[in-house]
Structures are given as structure tokens and as C-alpha cells.
């Protein structure tokens, strides 16, 4: 798991949203399958104006993993 400056987080396998370890349902996609094996991190504030968010198909603000295994 990548934890540089992020504390203990897990990534939603479906949408790659990063959430704390105590979360059981993803707040972005309502998924329930998570992985602690992820790398890279991007924070999206305004997905409508963000080229990165558009490239990664992110539609909601938040912190996302770049790769989830």
C-alpha cells in the first residue's frame, strides 16, 4: 500500500476512491469491495474543469488511487 502522507487508506476496486480503513461502503460508487494494494494518488477538487479527472473518468470530487490491484 502507498501511504506517503495519506495515513492508512484503502481503495475502492470499482472506482478507485480512497477511503479510511473503517469505511464499509464507498461514498462515490456505493461499492463494497476494497483493496489495500494500491499506488499513486490524485486529489480532484473540480472534476468538471480538471483535465486529469476527465482523463481518469472521475466525476466526483475526492482522493483517488491511480492503480488498484
Is the entire prediction scored with pTM above 0.95? no
The continuous run of DSSP H or E covering 52 comes out as helix 51-55
* CATH dotted code for 9-68: 2.20.28.90
Cα–Cα nearest to 30, from 7, 60, 6: 60
Segments making up each domain of the chain, as ranges: 9-68
CB count in 10 Å sphere of residue 40: 11
pLDDT of residue 25: 98
pLDDT of residue 2: 46
Whether 39 has a pLDDT exceeding 50, the answer reads yes
What's the mean pLDDT when you consider all of the chain? 93
pLDDT of residue 6: 54
Amino acid at each position: 500500500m502507498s501511504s506517503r502522507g495519506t495515513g492508512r487508506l484503502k481503495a475502492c476496486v470499482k472506482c478507485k476512491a480512497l477511503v479510511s480503513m473503517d469505511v464499509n461502503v464507498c461514498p462515490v460508487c456505493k461499492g463494497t469491495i476494497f483493496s489495500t494494494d494500491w499506488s499513486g494518488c490524485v486529489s480532484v477538487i473540480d472534476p468538471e474543469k480538471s483535465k486529469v479527472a476527465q482523463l481518469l473518468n472521475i466525476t466526483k470530487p475526492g482522493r483517488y488511487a491511480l492503480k488498484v490491484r
